[in-house]
Amino acid sequence: MPNGNHQNATLPTARCVLVKLPIVLADVRDSVTVDNVTCPPEMAKKVDHIDVVVRDLEADPVFSGPIMNNHVPCNSPKATVHFGDPVCGPREIRSITVHGTLHKQIFYVNKDDDVRHFSEDIPFTKSIKLDPPLPVMNPGNVDIEFRDVDVDVDFELPRPTRIQQVATITFTLKITEDQQIFIQTCIPDQDLIGRQVLANTGFEAFTGCILAVWQQSNAAPGQPGRNGGFAVGLGGPPAGFLPPGGCTANPTQPASISQTIPADVIRPGLRYEFCFYISEAIPPGAEAEYIVEARVAFFDAAGNAINSAAVQTFTEEQINGTWVQKCVTSAAPEGAVSGLVSIVFTPEAGNGAYVLVDDATLTIRA
């Protein structure tokens, strides 16, 4: 029968939510060179400077044929779609057509040494091939955005009536596709407070001499518990103390049990209260010389301990043959992504006693 309460943690469940998000498919860095010759409205002695800006910059994807035979041809997302048109299926973007207008303000010095200016608009276009082609699930959900657009212009005046110009437009094309995906939301902090988060807290679940969920060393499950069920022995009982076939441990060697704190319940700032019941067992003629440590430790993403572990130490004088509850509490520090609770039994020279542990819980506090 289960021993005590909180045999298994019952946690609030995180919700799965269907959302539509832009998924980045690729970042393509490229450039367009616009080379043109301009005739000023009058003879020029020199070109003072040219101000340049890119207007109406757009990108249109060019899709391949259907990936599967039962899908119809696809238009660009900017094309007119009529009601009742068949739905376009998965495709590949084989190229992107970039087009826009280069607007320039050209400042020059005329023969009277006056600074004059005139403007011009130069349309441009370029087809950028993608190698390999970029697969998409729904071409109608594809979007292409320009990032880090920069324009550089070089010019010269070979003769007073001609201005030779070379403009280079560099940019990054960020290609995204809106996709519906399920995301798992975090459990709200208020739903965690007061919850017990460990499993197999009564040590009822074990196979042979191996506990379920808990990690163990020199520990013996299946011992008499405080409420008629089972407990786990640390450092005992020694061989020969119980009928043959029972689980045994060595009281002269260190012993421990530990369990990982579920990652989805770790919240920096919340407090974690680790409590358990413990009693002492001394075989006839043996001496009790040991200490027991209860620990709550938190770790960062690299696995480094970041709270130096909260530790409570108990000597054999604080533990006797009756069940007594012990607790240790630690707040989760910033950067904590994982955690561990443990009980460590450390014998001293001449020890022959061991301890029994039951009903170990970890409760989240505000």
Cα 325 from Cα 284, distance rounded (Å) = 25
Q: What is the pLDDT of residue 6?
A: 42
Q: What is the pLDDT of residue 73?
A: 56
Same domain, yes or no: 30 and 97? yes
Q: What's the rounded mean pLDDT across residues 36-54? A: 94
Give the rounded percent of residues in the chain with a pLDDT score beyond 70: 88
Same domain, yes or no: 21 and 115? yes
Q: What are phi and psi of 149, to 5 degrees?
A: -75, 130
Model pLDDT for residues 134-164, shown as the tens digit of each residue: 999 888 889 999 999 999 999 999 999 999 9
In a domain, 1, yes or no: no
Q: What is the pLDDT of residue 66?
A: 60
In a domain, 104, yes or no: yes
Retrieve residue 41's tokens: 């409205």
* Domain limit, last residue, from 139, 164, 183: 183
Residue 48 pLDDT greater than 60, yes or no: yes
In a domain, 346, yes or no: yes
* Domain limit, last residue, from 123, 158, 183: 183
Query: How many separate domains does the chain show?
Result: 2
What strands, in cross-sheet order, belong to the sheet with 91-110?
A: 44-63, 91-110, 115-136
* Domain limit, last residue, from 159, 183, 207: 183
Residue 56 pLDDT greater than 80, yes or no: yes
Residues 6 or more apart whose Cβ sits within 8 Å of residue 364: 192, 193, 194, 195, 197, 265, 267, 270, 271, 272, 273
Same domain, yes or no: 270 and 217? yes
Residue 241 pLDDT greater than 50, yes or no: yes
Across the strands, what pairs with 177? 23, 142
CATH of the domain at 229: 2.60.120.260
Task: Give ∠ CA 109-114-117 in degrees, rounded to 5.
Answer: 60
Model pLDDT for residues 324-335, shown as the tens digit of each residue: 999 999 999 999
**Higher-scoring residue by pLDDT: 274, 190:** 274
- pLDDT band, very low/low/confident/very high, at 78 (cuts 50, 70, 90): low
What is the helix (H) or strand (E) element at residue 192, kind and residue range?
helix 189-192
What is the helix (H) or strand (E) element at residue 190, kind and residue range?
helix 189-192
Q: Give residue 113's domain range.
A: 17-183
Give the rounded percent of residues in the chain with a pLDDT score beyond 90: 75
In a domain, 3, yes or no: no
